Structure 1
Amino acid sequence: MLGRLVLRGLGLAAAVRGARRSQAPGWFAMDGNMRAAAASQAKRLQSSIEETEKPDENGHQDKRFKGCQEDVEDQNKKFPKRKIVLLVAYSGKGYHGMQRNVGSLQFKTIEDELVSALVQSGCIPENHGEDMKKMSFQRCARTDKGVSAIGQIVSLKIWLIDNVLEKINNCLPSHIRILGLKRVTGGFSSKNKCDARTYFYMLPTFAFAHKDHDIQDESYRLSKETVEKVNNLLSSYKGTHNFHNFTSQKAPKDPSAKRYIMEMYCEEPFVREGLEFTVIKVKGQSFMMHQIRKMIGLVIAIMKGYAPESIMERSWGEEKVDIPRAPGLGLVLEKVHFEKYNNRFGSDGLHEPLEWAEAEEKITVFKEQHVYPTIINTEKEEQSMANWLSTLSLHDFNTTSSGIKANDRNSKSNNLEGSDDGCADDSD
């Protein structure tokens, strides 16, 4: 078809040249009818050629004209590609942690949902979703199985398309939200530039009821004296200690087992749906896998009367100590801190400080709608804390190393969870 049209065009051109030779010298000697016919024929020829560039009914397109039609990805290339950070909030129930397990469809993670949304919204090419290194992706903290977050930070390179947050959120389930976005320096890494992390752990207050002389059900209420005692124990964690007993696969003399805790305290209790809860907050430079949950588990064991207070000092020594691990349900990544980065780049006129005061209302709404209800409802339905408390009597807090290994094997078989690399947060 295209060949015939071209030949017709060439024939028209030959006729025009013949007319120029046979008539007055010059193109404009051609009569008006001849010129009008030529223009009309040229217009029809162009229209026919354009028709041939369109895909056929099966969606295929002539390779010669493939570059003439831009798909969504090509259109988005018109937007600048920039290094940014995203403020992410999510309810971790039903997920095997934050970090994506490439090639594994069995264990769904928060990053699976996030990367899928980035591709669907047109922020990254599809092949970047298959290889996250291509977009320089880094998460600030790898949260464990079932752990939630209201202040997770990830850094990556994306196309800054119009209405970018709205488009990403439209591709995410309601229990995962992007609450903010900021530009950062090209070499920024959310993991390496983070100075500290703050977590909170929400738990029913009957966890602190002494096994011998306190009520052990939902009617228990935390007294001021008990809160004070809990805070005295929690404050013992402040400073630098050897936490090799609060994680796995760390030798007593491993330098990486030493961690610095800035603050740890218990807040005033509050009642939700007839059950009293409290929140323990902890801020530290970094946390090892299960460290926070074991720190809280040991304090609960002391408050319940299963372990002596002296076990805390002993746990920081080289001796192996059996420390129970509190359930993962109540653990939430609240905030990550970038003081050094903010001091250097936060006021350079090109970048904003990584503070999220403008998103506080969104964070509060998400916490009240998704995080607190998940913890409260799951606790009431599954009684995860009550069931875990019933296992404390099985621990021997003066056990030998061989006894600890046996307990560890039993614990692992009954509580398989995600893991991390040992240097970013509680699930590391």
Structure 2
Amino acid sequence: CVPIIGTACNFDPPDTKATRKACALQEEPGAVEENGHTAKRFKPDHEEQNKKTPKRKVVLLMAYSGKGYHGMQRNVGSSQFKTIEDELVQALVGAGCIPENHAEEMKKMSFQRCARTDKGVSAAGQVVSLKIWLIDNVVEKINEHLPSHIRILGLKRVTGRFNSKNSCDARTYSYTLPTFAFLLKDHETQEESFRLSQETLGRVNELLALYKGTHNFHNFTSQKGPWDPSAKRYIMEMHCEPPFQQGGLELAVIKVKGQSFMMHQIRKMIGLVIAVVKGYAPMSVIERSWGEEKVDIPKAPGLGLVLERVHFEKYNRRFGNDGLHESLDWAEEESKIESFKKEHIYPTIIQTEIQEKSMSTWLTT
């Protein structure tokens, strides 16, 4: 058998080790010809060429609009719910960064994400770690295979044992919401004409500051009891920024930085503050929610939630200045991050709120 690129061996070669190896290098079973006969499929040229090059551990800085996706994490074998990682893996294969079989078994490329964002949640600074072939113009080639609302904004080499989830010290999220969410429950003002006063903004920040420190957040997620040690979480900072107007709506952005967060935790933290400011619950309910008692906490809509950035302070102190590795601070990519938010994240949040009225609907249910 003389293997020829683009054709399959159509007769039995002499059964020698050399010929078996030669055919195996070029063939990949599983293709079906139009007449129904099984044919042999050939691996892409770039996959054969890259076999000779060792993969390198890198991190990718990602930004994406989560609307229309069932979260970040991929569910291999399930095509019912599309995720951000589905798009990323397809792009990595298409660009020639990983072999096709790594797409089905992501552990083969040591894949890990910093944060597992939920359905509809966007990110401006998600970071994933994985092993890839470092092809020329790698970031540009990956982006060629991604939709415009998902971008790779940066790439850096990291240590061989780096794990983006375990090496992450903290995560910062933002939550953009219309300020009428803080309108008193018996107030008659139209939602669109409501403007947040300095007094109310101060009240909001007073309540948000209560979350700072280590607390038992078992009431802010599902399937965790008050004695589960994993329900204790450390919040470093939480505040609401001054409001701004866009698209006829007044909006505000809440920022929260914490060591790690559980599912729905941030949305419930904000939902409870809204309930207190509007007058549906007393201020004391916040501290009561950290006790053993079961407290029913409202969950704010997911639309405005964005993973802003992830922090690697310990890694940067240990490896960032060793002369061999780069610091994971992404200062040079800051302008790209801001541009992506202005083009893809903020417009989606604002337009969806105006059209679908998710906050308005939630407040009336």
What's the TM-score once normalised by structure 2's chain length? 0.90
Is structure 2 residue 309 aligned with structure 1 residue 361?
no
Q: How many residues align structurally?
A: 339
Q: Gaps (5+ residues) in structure 1?
A: 3-51, 392-428
- Return the offset for 1:79: 3.9
The corresponding residue for 2:119 is: 145
Could you list the per-position Cα deviations for residues 347-373 of structure 1 after superposition, in whole angstroms to 9, with x for gaps in the alignment?
111100101010011000100000001
User: What's the secondary structure of 1:104's corresponding residue?
Assistant: coil
User: What's the secondary structure of 2:207's corresponding residue?
Assistant: helix
The corresponding residue for 1:229 is: 203
Which of 97-106 and 74-83 deviates more? 74-83
User: What's the secondary structure of 2:233's corresponding residue?
Assistant: strand
The corresponding residue for 1:20 is: none
The corresponding residue for 1:119 is: 93
Counterpart of 2:236, as a letter, is M
Query: Do the aligned partners of residues 301 and 72 (structure 1) sit closer, same or farther apart at CA in structure 2, a change above 3 Å counting?
Result: same
Is structure 2 residue 331 aligned with structure 1 residue 383?
no
Could you list the per-position Cα deviations for residues 233-255 of structure 1 after superposition, in whole angstroms to 9, with x for gaps in the alignment?
00000011111111111111111
The corresponding residue for 1:60 is: 8
Paired residues of 1:241 and 1:260 also in contact (CA < 8 A): yes
Paired residues of 1:209 and 1:216 also in contact (CA < 8 A): no
The corresponding residue for 2:296 is: 322
Could you list the per-position Cα deviations for residues 268-291 of structure 1 after superposition, in whole angstroms to 9, with x for gaps in the alignment?
111111111100000000111100
Residue in structure 1 matching 2:109, options 128, 135, 150: 135
Bigger Rg, which one: 1
Residue in structure 2 matching 1:257, options 217, 231, 240: 231
Residue in structure 2 matching 1:371, options 345, 348, 351: 345
The corresponding residue for 1:162 is: 136
Query: Do the aligned partners of residues 216 and 302 (structure 1) sit closer, same or farther apart at CA in structure 2, a change above 3 Å counting?
Result: farther
User: What's the secondary structure of 2:193's corresponding residue?
Assistant: coil
Is structure 2 residue 161 aligned with structure 1 residue 213?
no
Greater fraction of residues in strand: 2
Q: Distance in 1 between matches of 2:117 and 2:236?
A: 20
Paired residues of 1:262 and 1:283 also in contact (CA < 8 A): yes
Paired residues of 1:140 and 1:153 also in contact (CA < 8 A): yes
- Return the offset for 1:129: 0.5
Query: Do the aligned partners of residues 104 and 53 (structure 1) sit closer, same or farther apart at CA in structure 2, a change above 3 Å counting?
Result: closer
Q: Gaps (5+ residues) in structure 2?
A: 14-18, 27-41
Q: Distance in 1 between matches of 2:7 and 2:137?
A: 30
Is structure 2 residue 249 aligned with structure 1 residue 275?
yes
Query: Do the aligned partners of residues 196 and 53 (structure 1) sit closer, same or farther apart at CA in structure 2, a change above 3 Å counting?
Result: closer
Counterpart of 2:75, as a letter, is N
- Return the offset for 1:77: 3.0
Residue in structure 2 matching 1:288, options 225, 237, 262: 262
Q: Distance in 2 between matches of 1:143 and 1:210?
A: 31
User: What's the secondary structure of 2:273's corresponding residue?
Assistant: helix
RMSD over aligned CA atoms reads 1.7
Which of 214-223 and 162-171 deviates more? 214-223
- Return the offset for 1:216: 4.2
Taking every aligned residue pair, what percent have the same amino acid on both sides? 75
The corresponding residue for 2:277 is: 303
Could you list the per-position Cα deviations for residues 293-349 of structure 1 after superposition, in whole angstroms to 9, with x for gaps in the alignment?
000000001111111111111111111111000000000000100100000000111
- Return the offset for 1:59: 2.6
The corresponding residue for 1:36 is: none
Is structure 2 residue 57 aligned with structure 1 residue 83?
yes
Q: Distance in 2 between matches of 1:251 and 1:203?
A: 30
Could you list the per-position Cα deviations for residues 89-147 of structure 1 after superposition, in whole angstroms to 9, with x for gaps in the alignment?
00000000000011110000000000010011000000001100000000000000000
Residue in structure 2 matching 1:196, options 148, 156, 170: 170
User: What's the secondary structure of 1:229's corresponding residue?
Assistant: helix
The corresponding residue for 1:340 is: 314
- Return the offset for 1:71: 2.0
Residue in structure 2 matching 1:352, options 298, 304, 326: 326
Could you list the per-position Cα deviations for residues 203-235 of structure 1 after superposition, in whole angstroms to 9, with x for gaps in the alignment?
000000111235241111111111111000000
Q: Distance in 1 between matches of 2:308 and 2:3?
A: 54
The corresponding residue for 2:37 is: none
Q: Distance in 2 between matches of 1:217 and 1:198?
A: 29
Aligned counterparts, 1:92-111, within 5 A = 92-111=66-85
Paired residues of 1:79 and 1:161 also in contact (CA < 8 A): no
The corresponding residue for 1:17 is: none
Q: Distance in 1 between matches of 2:181 and 2:59?
A: 38
Q: Distance in 2 between matches of 1:252 and 1:104?
A: 34
Counterpart of 1:316, as a letter, is W
Q: Distance in 2 between matches of 1:87 and 1:261?
A: 24
What's the TM-score once normalised by structure 1's chain length? 0.77
Which of 63-72 and 374-383 deviates more? 63-72
